[in-house]
A = this chain, B = another copy of it.
Amino acid sequence: MRRTIINESIDLFDKKGYSKTSIQDIVNSIGATKGTFYYYFNSKQELLRDIHLSYIQELLQEQEVILHDSNLTSKDKIRKLILLIIGKIRTHGKSARVFTREIRHLEEEHIQYVNSIKREFRLNFQKVLEDGVEKGEFRKDLRSDIVTFGILGMVNRSYNWYNPDGEVSEEELVDIYMDIIINGLINNK
């Protein structure tokens, strides 16, 4: 039931917006009562927060596994981290889009907590770039903070246009991104 409430809410928040969706709307559309809603969540705020929190906490845990795999080169790690994000579009695309749009409705402490996890994810990514520079895999003159924003921007933006059921598979999309990021567009022949 908790999962049903979450899934239905994401659909409603997506269509009508968070402000215009009431708890009554949510329970009506799944044929439940408000009592059921309050059994799982204290408020609409808490629901919105939980939707996103479970998503980014999971992302961070999976990131840690990649970071600590000592068999991978820095380039391998970058590839796996990008695939991690792209791979979630299929399962979490709509909730990520809803959350980005509605985050301002959360209480300040929740916003700060969510942002601190996002920041940790970003700084971990940046660290992989810096390790790659140190090991000589990447160029010495890399501005790792801005390059991290750039790569994550490119990758995260895919949530707005990429269709995992279209002609380009998740793996292919990641290969194309990796090729620009690692080799650039220049014709070296």
Residues of A within 8 A of B (CB): 15, 17, 19-20, 100-101, 104-105, 129, 132, 136-140, 142-143, 146-147, 149-158, 160-162, 168, 173, 176-177, 180-188
Contacts and interface: CB of A to CB of B under 8 A. Distances in A.
Contacts of A151: 154, 180
Best-buried of A104, A137, A153, A181 by chain B (most CB within 10 Å): A153
Contact of A147 (B129, B160, B162, B185): B185
Contacts of A20: 19
A181 B180 CA distance: 6
* Main SS at interface, chain A: helix
Oligomer: number of copies: 2
Given A17-B17, A157-B153, A139 B187 contact: yes
10 contacts: A19-B19, A132-B185, A136-B187, A138-B186, A140-B187, A153-B158, A156-B157, A180-B184, A181-B185, A183-B184
A100 to B, nearest CB: 8
A180 B19 contact: no
A165 B32 CA distance: 51
A146 B17 contact: no
Contact of A176 (B100, B132, B143): B143
A189 to B, nearest CB: 8
Contacts of A138: 185-187
Nearest to A185: B138
A142 B176 CA distance: 9
Contacts of A136: 187
A181 B154 CA distance: 11
